[in-house]
Structure 1
Amino acid sequence: MALFRPLARPLRGSAAPAVPPPRSSAVTDWAAYIDGQRVDTETVADAVRLVRDGELTDNDGGMGFVWVGLHEPDAAELERLAPVFGLHPLAVEDAVHAHQRPKLERYDDVQFLVMKTVGYAERGGDDGDLVETGEIMIFCGHDFVVTVRHGPHGDLDAVRRRLEADPARLALGPTAVLHAIADHVVDAYMSVAEAVADDIDRVEEAVFSPERSDEARRIYRLKREVIQLKRAVGPLAGPLRSLAGRRFVPPEIKEYLRDVEDHLTRVREQVESYDELLNPILHAHMTQVTVADNRDMRRISAWGAILMLPTAVTGIYGMNFDNMPALHTEWGYMAVLAVIAVMCLTLYRGFRRNGWL
């Protein structure tokens, strides 16, 4: 495996050129961080040995850790990293197969955090925008962070660059990365929640507008999006609260984690209000559809009654009996037409007065 070649002497400092991971690898980026400064190495194993051997920290006593990022790795690749960082097999299995609920678990000295990621996907046609979900699994130890990402959302490149621009924050250790990722994920929740709120406002305007439209499909799609958000946002509150109370988290990071938890609470309340709002909108729309259908049925029934009257009269005179009123008179035909016209007009005015036409 190219990630585990023999140690090559790294260059220290953020200005060192990054070594791109192999194209066939799920590893998207890796680096050692010494006193908040990025140190690029040729392999992940080099970065681990650099941090644990203390080659660059002997003089200043600084803190170092390794951050490895992966995107949808297979079992073999993650199992090769597991012994390097001491990852538990159960956590490795969860990270490979994904589809986990948000949770925080401890395996010996390694914290394993699972978070759902969300994104708004542009779709053409009637489907419009849809909420898509993914996952981020984080293995956090005292000198390493391994992030495993599933799905197209939650890219961590921007998070890494932002942290690298703040060496003082990175110098706090792996928990600084943990907070930055959690903050990034919750910020995405807020953005998607705002987008869903805009969709709900548009649907609400359409439902209560004078123009008649069928919004049932859009309402059900929005309810599905809200359910996706609830599954991502709701279960994360407990893990974040537990994480903020762990002893291995520095006090400075605990304050930031509590702020992230506060943002998550606001998003959770917003999403719950969306669900409560969509139910009456759906009921109002179905009521409008029922009222419109009843109005159409009344109109059809009224016209049917009007058309049935001349049909009945002409049917009677079509029986061809000899002794029928006005059958053999010159004015009989016009009299019957006049009676039919008067009766139809009377029915029409009655239906109009009652609101059926």
Structure 2
Amino acid sequence: MWTAAALPARVYRAARKFPRRRAAACTQRRPLGTALHYGLESAIDFHFPAGAIIDCLLFKDSSAQAIAFDDISDHVGQPDRFIWVELKSPDTRTITRLGDELGLHALALEDAISTHQRSKLEEYDKHVFIATRTVQLWESRMELGETHLFVGSNYVIAIRHDNGAGYQRVTDRLQRRPNGIKAGTPYALYLVLDLIVDQFRPVIEGMQDRFQSLESLLMRGEKSGRDTLERLYAMKRDLTLLRDVAEPMQDITQDLIRLHPALSPKELKAYYRDIHDHAIRVSAAIDRLRMSTSDAMQFHLASLSLKQNESVQKLAGWGALLALPTVVFSLYGMNFEVMPELEWPWAYPALLLTTAVAVGMLYRRLKRRGWI
């Protein structure tokens, strides 16, 4: 159990702003990014609201410290300092304050406010704006989000529009400084893009498991044809959407490597090429899975057509068996007077025997051909 002294001051400030909730409410499912802390009088939901400032850190002299949001402009442009800011679903007022602090372009601010942006990289006079789409797997469902990045000479602003776990891993690695890499704009941007690309891996693995389960059902024939086809189509639709999300990452990383040497310096070229390679492999894996899904749909439709043909063949075979005695017996059902065999004593048994032999021979022939 956590004691009061173990909780940071930021938690207490958040607790004072929001009402306490009943402990029973904490048993409900919550999306990723919702942190629940216990040990207080009652359970408190510390899920950040729209416009919340997750992190506002200043890196200087190999150390990191939290700074006020309004003090960002005091450190912009100083080469010995680096600013990292993470926002979650900020409102227009927060974005406006951010633009005033950093002198951001109005068009970039407009893009950062609105969601459903296409992935892109745009260069302005004082900064670069990058819009990326993110994905995560939550309870076997694919959830999409967006991350907008303002990248300047000594700052990176990450604006999230999702319910993900955030970029805590980025700040942790910035503070650890592995391989002696300086905490600055190029390295922070690399960490963010690397994390975004890495998030596709569990989603693709989940899609592969989903496809394998559908494929096994398809081979065993345990599901109805319509249900299996609908599930395959839904999976192909999700894969198409996933490809649209993942594919632009190749262009973004390639533009950074070729056109923005300040953001991808020589010591980080290999890291950015690694991201580009991962993005290519992600797109290739998605395309292979889409092709497999399309092949499974074609196989399923072909198997349904084959089953239908088999059913028609069986119906035709049994129809032929019934047609032969029907023709013979209907002939004797007509009211003809001149039918000599009617006077023969063995005519009726002979007719039955001949009909039975003919039907038996026809049955044997159809059975060999698999029609019945």
Confirm or deny a common fold (TM above 0.5): yes
1:280 pairs with 295, 302, 309, which one?
295
1:101 aligns with 2:118: yes
**In the alignment, which residue of structure 2 is the partner of 1:148?**
159
1:51 aligns with 2:75: yes
1:305 aligns with 2:331: no
Q: 1:210 offset after TM fit, Å?
A: 6.2
1:37 aligns with 2:50: no
Q: Secondary structure at the match of 1:356?
A: coil
Structure 1, residues 13-70: CA drift from partner, whole Å, max 9, x if none? xx985466665542241222222433124x4113x1553498xxxxxxx732332222
Is contact 2:229–2:297 with CA below 8 Å preserved after alignment? yes
Cα 1:90–1:49, aligned 2, differ >3 Å: closer, same or farther? closer
Superposed counterparts of 1:76-155, under 5 Å: 76-122=93-139, 129-153=140-164, 155=166
Cα 1:334–1:239, aligned 2, differ >3 Å: closer, same or farther? same
**In the alignment, which residue of structure 1 is the partner of 2:31?**
none
**In the alignment, which residue of structure 2 is the partner of 1:248?**
262
**In the alignment, which residue of structure 1 is the partner of 2:186?**
175
**In the alignment, which residue of structure 1 is the partner of 2:245?**
232
**In the alignment, which residue of structure 2 is the partner of 1:220?**
233
Is contact 1:102–1:113 with CA below 8 Å preserved after alignment? yes
Which residue identity lines up with residue 66 of structure 1 in the other structure? I
1:163 aligns with 2:157: no
Cα 1:76–1:119, aligned 2, differ >3 Å: closer, same or farther? same
Structure 1, residues 183-203: CA drift from partner, whole Å, max 9, x if none? 111111223223333344444
Q: 1:355 offset after TM fit, Å?
A: 1.6
Q: 1:211 offset after TM fit, Å?
A: 4.9
2:198 pairs with 187, 202, 222, which one?
187
Structure 1, residues 251-294: CA drift from partner, whole Å, max 9, x if none? 33333212211221222222233334444343333322222221
Aligned CA RMSD, in angstroms, stands at 3.2
Q: 1:136 offset after TM fit, Å?
A: 1.1
Q: 1:321 offset after TM fit, Å?
A: 4.4
**In the alignment, which residue of structure 2 is the partner of 1:350?**
365
Q: Secondary structure at the match of 2:247?
A: helix
Which residue identity lines up with residue 131 of structure 2 in the other structure? V
Q: Name which structure has the greater RCO, CA cutoff 8 Å, separation 6+.
A: 1
Cα 1:193–1:210, aligned 2, differ >3 Å: closer, same or farther? closer
Distance 2:93 2:347 in 1: 98
Is contact 2:76–2:155 with CA below 8 Å preserved after alignment? no
1:291 aligns with 2:316: no
1:264 aligns with 2:279: yes
User: Where does the alignment leave 5 or more consecutive residues of structure 1 unmatched?
Assistant: 1-14, 55-61, 123-128
Q: 1:142 offset after TM fit, Å?
A: 2.0
Cα 1:339–1:103, aligned 2, differ >3 Å: closer, same or farther? same
Distance 2:130 2:186 in 1: 12
User: Where does the alignment leave 5 or more consecutive residues of structure 2 unmatched?
Assistant: 1-6, 18-47
Cα 1:112–1:309, aligned 2, differ >3 Å: closer, same or farther? same
Is contact 1:244–1:257 with CA below 8 Å preserved after alignment? yes
Question: TM-score under structure 2 normalisation?
Answer: 0.75
Distance 1:237 1:179 in 2: 14
Is contact 1:164–1:170 with CA below 8 Å preserved after alignment? no
Q: 1:329 offset after TM fit, Å?
A: 6.8
Which residue identity lines up with residue 91 of structure 2 in the other structure? D
